Amino acid sequence: MHLIPSISGISQVFCLLATGAAWSADLGFHPLALDFGSPALRESKRLQVKLRNASAADIGLTGAAIEGSGAAAFRIAADTCGALLAAGANCSYSIVYQAPALTPQTAQLRVRADGQPDTVLSLSGNRYPARNDTGLTLCVSPEGIANGVFQPCPGADYPGQDGDTGRDKTRNYNGNGEAGFNFTKLDGQGRPLAAAAKNWKCVRDNVTGLIWEVKPPSDAIQANQGPHDADDTYTWYSTDSGNNGGDPGEANPAGSTCTGYNATDSLSWCNTENYVYRTNRAGYCGFQDWRMPSRPELAELEHLGNLRIDTGYFPDTGRDYWETWTSSPYALGSDRAWSIDFRFAISHPGLRGESRHARLVRGERQAFPSQ
pLDDT exceeds cutoff 60 at 319 = no
Answer yes or no: are the C-beta atoms of 278 and 267 closer than 8 Å.
Answer: yes
- At 159-180, the pLDDT tens digits run 778 788 888 877 777 678 788 8
Q: What per-residue confidence (pLDDT) applies to 113?
A: 93
User: Other CB atoms closer than 10 Å to residue 296's CB: what's the count?
Assistant: 18
Q: What per-residue confidence (pLDDT) applies to 24?
A: 43
The pTM of the whole model exceeds 0.85: no
What class does CATH assign to 27-125?
mainly beta
Average pLDDT score over residue span 249-262: 85
Q: What per-residue confidence (pLDDT) applies to 343?
A: 78
Percent of all residues in the chain with a pLDDT value above 90, rounded to a whole number? 57
Residue intervals in the chain for CATH 2.60.40.10: 27-125
pLDDT exceeds cutoff 80 at 352 = yes
CA of 217: how far to CAs of 27, 200, 310, in Å? Answer: 61, 12, 13
* Listed residue (46, 53, 50) closest to 33, CA to CA: 50
Q: What per-residue confidence (pLDDT) applies to 83?
A: 94
Averaged pLDDT of the chain: 85
Q: What per-residue confidence (pLDDT) applies to 233?
A: 92
Average pLDDT score over residue span 98-112: 94
Distance CA 244, CA 260 (A): 26
pLDDT exceeds cutoff 50 at 57 = yes
* Listed residue (157, 132, 130, 162) closest to 143, CA to CA: 157
Q: What per-residue confidence (pLDDT) applies to 322?
A: 76
* Listed residue (228, 287, 223) closest to 261, CA to CA: 223
pLDDT exceeds cutoff 90 at 325 = yes
- Return the exposure string of 172-211: e unless at least 16 CB atoms fall within 10 Å of the residue's CB, then b: beeebbbbbbbbbbbeeebeebeeeeeebbbbbbbbbbbb
Average pLDDT score over residue span 12-21: 35
Answer yes or no: are the C-beta atoms of 49 and 121 closer than 8 Å.
Answer: yes
Q: What per-residue confidence (pLDDT) applies to 29?
A: 95
Average pLDDT score over residue span 135-155: 73
Q: What per-residue confidence (pLDDT) applies to 143?
A: 65
Q: What per-residue confidence (pLDDT) applies to 147?
A: 63
pLDDT exceeds cutoff 60 at 207 = yes
Q: What per-residue confidence (pLDDT) applies to 208?
A: 92
Q: What per-residue confidence (pLDDT) applies to 25?
A: 58
Average pLDDT score over residue span 257-268: 90
- At 86-98, the pLDDT tens digits run 999 999 999 999 9
The sign of the torsion formed by the CA atoms of 294, 295, 296, 301 equals positive
